[in-house]
Amino acid sequence: MFEKILVPVDGSETSWRALAEAKELAEAFNGELLVINVIQPYNNSAMLVVPLDQATINQGNNELTKIGNGVLDTAKEKLKDFKGKKDFDLEVGHPSERVLAVCKEKKCTAIVIGSRGLSGIAEFFLGSVSSKVSQYADVPVLIVK
């Protein structure tokens, strides 16, 4: 079950606890880790109040990419003593959709995810990423508090 564990991280405390738990599981079961960060880029259709010019949107998306890569760099540091196979990917799209798609594409056997991320008010209205992932995943999902 824990041969290839997908771990989405967003920089929140619960995502770091999920990463630590996934590391322990991978070590115990000789598994590998796939750590991802999903950025959701800006576009004009997502702007409800004030449409922005393309240069501003591009600048915002570049900043999101930098932040996402920074989160992955922190994950690499937290896993520096993990001896098993580990990969790190920056994904672009809706977080729960990308987590589920990557899980299938990369043939992961489990997902370990934090219970609450950094999504704030959107989480309140749309439901948490962890809830959607656990509802629609075809593999076991461990939600870490």
pLDDT tens digits, residue range 75-127?
999 999 999 999 999 999 999 999 999 999 999 999 999 987 655 544 544 45
The pLDDT of residue 44: 45
**pLDDT tens-digit series, residues 42-71:** 654 454 555 566 666 566 556 788 999 999
Does residue 21 contact residue 112 with C-beta atoms inside 8 Å? Answer: yes
Q: Report the Cα–Cα distance between both ends of the chain, in Å, rounded.
A: 21
Phi, psi of 36 (to 5 degrees): -125, 155
Looking at the chain, how many residues does it have?
145
141-144, strands of its sheet edge to edge? 86-92, 32-39, 4-8, 110-114, 141-144
More confident residue, 127 or 143: 143
CA 56-58-63 angle, to 5 degrees, is 95
Considering all CA atoms of the chain, what is the largest pairwise distance in Å, rounded to the nearest integer? 51
Sign of the dihedral defined by the CA atoms of residues 104, 105, 109, 112, in that order: negative
Residue 33 confidence (pLDDT): 98
4-51 pLDDT per residue, tens: 999 999 999 999 999 999 999 999 999 999 999 999 876 544 545 555
| Residue carrying the six token digits 């079961």 | 29
CB-CB contact of 100 with 9 (8 Å): no
Question: What pLDDT does 77 receive?
Answer: 98
